[in-house]
Every structure is written in structure tokens, then in C-alpha cells.
């Protein structure tokens, strides 16, 4: 009896070890999208009055959690009864990510940037602020939904050959990490300037360490968000390229002499600009057709 109990404990430990290993692999595969998710939400949660940043971020976080609750059961059902759909969705999602990355590069080089207006009571009325917040929250949740689909599908793709129970545990861990981890870090990022200002205010000396750190945090916030945006764009293209390289037969053997990073980035960039060109062409045709 005792030996049977200890054998059961050994089985449980082995399963947990297997889940830990699979979760680590899945986390690595989804790191690129998590990076972009971080960049996108840090940008969307900033630009508000200081008192409104955390409420806006909390609303986006709740929407993100609801997204995961909707996506996870559907993904598991598809995995169990129609696994080919996972590859199809993964590839279509890769096209979207490649398109989004290419569009960001195109916008950077060919479109003028407009200065962001801080949403405060001095520039907008209370009703206008609430309406703008609602729009930004809705936009952030929609973007999160698309990224969440990719996170879940990519994580599921790493354990697609495992048992359904292992799939559920691993993918749920990644989904929870994607919500708690990403939005926790975003909360820290958007409050960097507040921490910096607090350190400056409590500093009594002109050249104190606290004041130096405070000034550094205040000055670093816009640079951090900008850097995350650049890193996120690169990550989008690389994740998309990796999806194509691993799921399209011809591309699996394309340019084997190239390092995987360069190969995946190149593939993602090519697919991204092809998709961007097609989308822009359809937009122009659609616009001309409905001009009277």
C-alpha cells in the first residue's frame, strides 16, 4: 500500500517536472509576442493624468483576462477535435503579426508622426476624458485579444502532441503569466515617473542620490516606451517568421546556411510587406469604388 502511494507521488512529480519543462519551452516561444504585448499596453496606458493611469490599466487587465477565458476553451476543443485548425489559425495569425510589424516600419519611414496630447482636465472636459479612456481601453482589449489568440495558439503548438491534461495546464500557465506578468510590468513602467517625482520631492540636497535616481526615472519613461515599441516591432516580425519557417514545408528548408534569427526575421519581413501591399491595394480599390 505504502509503495503504491509513493509510486503515485513519483508519477505526480514526473508530471510536474514535464509540465515545468514544457512551460519553459512555451514561454520562450511566446516571449516575442509577450514583448510586443508589453510595448503596446505600456503605450496605451500612458498619456493619461497620473490619477487615471492605474484605473485604465486595471480595466484593460480585466478585459485581457476575459479574453483568455474565452480563447482557452475554444483552443482546447480545436486541439482535441480539429488539430489542423491550430496550424491554420497559427499561420493566419502569423500573417497578421507580420503585417502589423511591416506596417509599423512603413509608418515610421513614410508617415509623419503627430505629437501625442496628454489627456488631462486642462485639455479635455471630464466627459471627453471618460470617452477617450473608453475608446483607448476598447482598442487595447481588441489588440490584446488578437495577441492573446497568438500566445495561446503558439503555446498550444509546443505541446500539441502531449496529453490534453498537459496541454490545459501548460497553456493556462502561459495565459495567466501573459496577463499578470505583462500588466504587472506595465503598471511599474507607467508609474516610473511618479516614483521619480516622489524621490525628487523628498530630496533635500541638490545633488543627492535620491534626486539623481528620480530625475533618471522621469527622463527614462518616454525612452523606455519608445524602446519597447522598437523591440516589439522586431519581435512581431521574428515571431511571424518563426511561425512560417516551422509550419510551411518549403520554408523549413529555405536558406539553411543562415542563422535562425536572420532567417526568421527575413521571412517575416517579406511576408509582412507582401501582406501590407495587398491590404493597401484593397484599401485603395475599395475607396475608389465607393467614391461618388
In contact, 60 and 45? CB cutoff 8 Å:
yes
Segment 74-78 shows an average pLDDT of 86
Tens-digit pLDDT profile for residues 214-272: 888 888 877 887 787 787 788 778 878 888 887 777 777 777 777 878 888 899 999 99
* CB environment 73-89: b (16+ within 10 A), e (fewer): eebbebbeeeeeebbeb
Q: Higher-confidence residue: 287 or 270?
A: 270
Q: Count the neighbouring beta carbons within 10 Å of the beta carbon of residue 179.
A: 22
Q: What's residue 230's pLDDT?
A: 81
- Going by pLDDT thresholds of 50, 70 and 90, the confidence category of residue 4 is very low
Number of domains in the chain: 1
Determine if residue 248 is left, alpha or beta; phi over 0 gives left, psi from -120 to 50 gives alpha, anything else beta: beta
Contacts of 193 (CB under 8 A, 6+ apart): 217, 218, 221
Q: Examine the pLDDT at 99 and tell me if it is beyond 80.
A: yes
Tens-digit pLDDT profile for residues 107-150: 888 865 554 445 555 556 666 667 777 887 887 787 778 778 87
Q: What's residue 11's pLDDT?
A: 39
Task: Please give the Cα distance from 233 to 130 (Å, whole number).
Answer: 30
Helix, strand, coil fractions of the chain, as percent rounded to 5:
85, 0, 15
The range of the structural domain enclosing residue 146 comes to 2-289
Tens-digit pLDDT profile for residues 15-26: 444 555 555 555
Tens-digit pLDDT profile for residues 46-60: 656 666 777 888 888
In contact, 158 and 29? CB cutoff 8 Å:
yes
Contacts of 96 (CB under 8 A, 6+ apart): 146, 150
* Residue (of 221, 227, 232, 230) closest to 190 by Cα position: 221
In the Cβ-directed half-sphere of 85, how many Cα atoms lie within 13 Å? Answer: 10
Q: Examine the pLDDT at 292 and tell me if it is beyond 50.
A: no
Amino acid at each position: 500500500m505504502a509503495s503504491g502511494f509513493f509510486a503515485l507521488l513519483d508519477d505526480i512529480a514526473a508530471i510536474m517536472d514535464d509540465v515545468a519543462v514544457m512551460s519553459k519551452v512555451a514561454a520562450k516561444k511566446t516571449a516575442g509576442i509577450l514583448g510586443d504585448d508589453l510595448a503596446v499596453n505600456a503605450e496605451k496606458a500612458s498619456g493619461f493624468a497620473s490619477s487615471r493611469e492605474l484605473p485604465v490599466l486595471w480595466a484593460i487587465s480585466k478585459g485581457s483576462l476575459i479574453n483568455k477565458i474565452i480563447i482557452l476553451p475554444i483552443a482546447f476543443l480545436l486541439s482535441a477535435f480539429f488539430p489542423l485548425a491550430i496550424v491554420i489559425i497559427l499561420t493566419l495569425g502569423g500573417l497578421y503579426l507580420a503585417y502589423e510589424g511591416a506596417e509599423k516600419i512603413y509608418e515610421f519611414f513614410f508617415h509623419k508622426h503627430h505629437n501625442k496630447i496628454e489627456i488631462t482636465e486642462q485639455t479635455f472636459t471630464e466627459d471627453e476624458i471618460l470617452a477617450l479612456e473608453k475608446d483607448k481601453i476598447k482598442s487595447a482589449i481588441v489588440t490584446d485579444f488578437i495577441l492573446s489568440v497568438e500566445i495561446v495558439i503558439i503555446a498550444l503548438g509546443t505541446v500539441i502532441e502531449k496529453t490534453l491534461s498537459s496541454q490545459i495546464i501548460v497553456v493556462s500557465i502561459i495565459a495567466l503569466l501573459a496577463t499578470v506578468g505583462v500588466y504587472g510590468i506595465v503598471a511599474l513602467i507607467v508609474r516610473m515617473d511618479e516614483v521619480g517625482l516622489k524621490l525628487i520631492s523628498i530630496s533635500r540636497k541638490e545633488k543627492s542620490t535620491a534626486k539623481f535616481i528620480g530625475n533618471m526615472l522621469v527622463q527614462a519613461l518616454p525612452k523606455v516606451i519608445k524602446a519597447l515599441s522598437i523591440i516589439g516591432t522586431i519581435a512581431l516580425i521574428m515571431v511571424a517568421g518563426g511561425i512560417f519557417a516551422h509550419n510551411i514545408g518549403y520554408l523549413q528548408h529555405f536558406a539553411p546556411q543562415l542563422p535562425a534569427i536572420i532567417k526568421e526575421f527575413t521571412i517575416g519581413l517579406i511576408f509582412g510587406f507582401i501582406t501590407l501591399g495587398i491590404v493597401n491595394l484593397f484599401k485603395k480599390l475599395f475607396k475608389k469604388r465607393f467614391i461618388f
